[in-house]
Amino acid sequence: MIYLDYAASAPISEEAMQVFHELNKEVYGNASSLHDAGGKAEHILNYCRRQLAALIHGHEDGIYFTSGGTESNILALQSVLNGLPADRRHFITTSVEHSSIRNLAALLQSQGWGVSIMQPDGNGRITPEILLSHIRENTGLVSIQHANSETGIIQDLQELSPLLKKRSILLHTDAVQTFGKIPVHADELGFDVLTVSSHKVYGPKGVGAVYIRPGVDWKPVYPGTTHEKGFRPGTVNVPGIGAFVTAAEAMVRQMTKLSEHFRKLRSHLFMEGHRLGIPLQPVVDETRVQVLPHIAGCYFLKAEGQYIMLECNRSGICISTGSACAVGQQNPSPSVKALGASDQEALHFIRISFGQHTTLQEVDSLLSTLHETVMNKL
C-alpha cells in the first residue's frame, strides 16, 4: 500500500511506540495519586508539559493535555469563552475552520452568543481588512486556523494578531496541521490559545494538547474537574502523552529537512503530472499565498474527486477528497468553495499529502495510476 493521506493521520513512529510501550510497562500509576507510583507518573507528565511548552516557545503552566485535536478545539474555545466578561459575548471565526469549530460556532449562536463567520478572500486568506470589518465593541475571542487541512493555505497570524491585541481581544488558533511542520512560536504568532494533536506528528491517536497563555481567564466546561488543573476530566494518559511529546520533538528537530523533502515531492507531482497530460490543477496560486509543503490540494478536472480516490484505492494508493472529519457529508468543502469554486467544481477536489517516508517513486506510482485512469477510463 502507498499511503498519501498524512494530513488525515500518520502512523506512530518507532521512537514514539517504544516510549509508549515503556511508559505503559513502567509508569502505570495515576498522576493524581499521592503514592510513589503516582508521583512517578506526575514527574513524567510535568516533564512532557515543559518539553511541549518549549516546542511552541510558551509557558509550561499553559499546557493542558487532551484526547486530540477535536476535543482540544472544543474545550479550549468553550473554556475561554466561559471566562470572558459579560460585555464580551461576541465570537468571530472563519468559514474554513475544522468542523469541530464550525459546529461549536453554530451551537454558540443557538445559545445567544454573537457569532460572526469571516469569509476569506479569493486567495483563501483572512486579511486585516476582513478581520477589522467583523470586530465589534463586544468581541471577546477570535479563532483563525493556522493552516487549512485541505488546501494547505497558511494564515498570516503575525499580521493579524496585533490588531486583536490592541483591542484586548483573544486569539485562538488551530495548529493541528502546522505543529511540527512549520514553526509555531507563541510570541511571534501572537496567539493566546493554541490546539495541537498527536497523531498528525507520528504520535499515538487519542492524545492532544491545548495551550492557554498564562493570565488568560478561563472557566472549565465541566465544573469540579480536578485533572489537568480542572481543564479536562478523566485520568491523564501519561504513556500517550510521553509518546506524543517524543514524536513532536523528533518532528521539530527535522522540520527544515522535511520541508525541503515535501517541496520536492510537491513540485515533482505537478511538473510530472503536467508533462504526462494529467489534468491536475493546484487549488491555490503559490505566488499569492503561502501553503504547507506537505499538502497538495488539487482539482482533477476530468472526473469527480471521489471517483479518482476510489480508482487510486483499487491500485493500493490512499489519497483523500478532503478532511477525514467531514467524511459522510455530501456538501462540497467550504475550504474549496471559499477559493471561488462552484459546487460542481469543488466536487473535483482531491488532496494528496506527504509524510516523512514518502518517496519520489511513490509519487510516480500515483502519477502512473492517474495517467492510466485518464487514458483508459475517462
Contact indicator for 334, 98 with CB cutoff of 8 Å: no
Q: Residue 23 to residues 11, 201, 233, 243: CA-CA distances in angstroms?
A: 19, 19, 21, 9
Contact indicator for 84, 141 with CB cutoff of 8 Å: yes
Catalytic residue among 298, 312, 318, 325: 325
Contact indicator for 19, 44 with CB cutoff of 8 Å: no
25 CB burial (10 A radius; 0-12, 13-18, 19+) = exposed
322 CB burial (10 A radius; 0-12, 13-18, 19+) = buried
What region, left, alpha or beta, does residue 63 occupy, with left being phi > 0 and alpha being psi -120 to 50 degrees? Answer: beta
325 is catalytic: yes
CA-CA distance, 366 to 363, in Å (whole number)? 5
Written as one string, the DSSP assignment of 206-241 is T-EEEEE-TT-----SSTT--GGGGTS-S---HHHH
What letters, b where the CB count within 10 A reaches 16 and e where it falls short, cover 331-356?
ebbbbbbbbebeeebbbbbbbbbbbb
CA-CA distance, 241 to 239, in Å (whole number)? 5
What letters, b where the CB count within 10 A reaches 16 and e where it falls short, cover 252-273?
beeeeebeebbeebbeebbebb
Contact indicator for 200, 149 with CB cutoff of 8 Å: no
CA-CA distance, 328 to 330, in Å (whole number)? 6
List, by residue number, the catalytic residues: 325
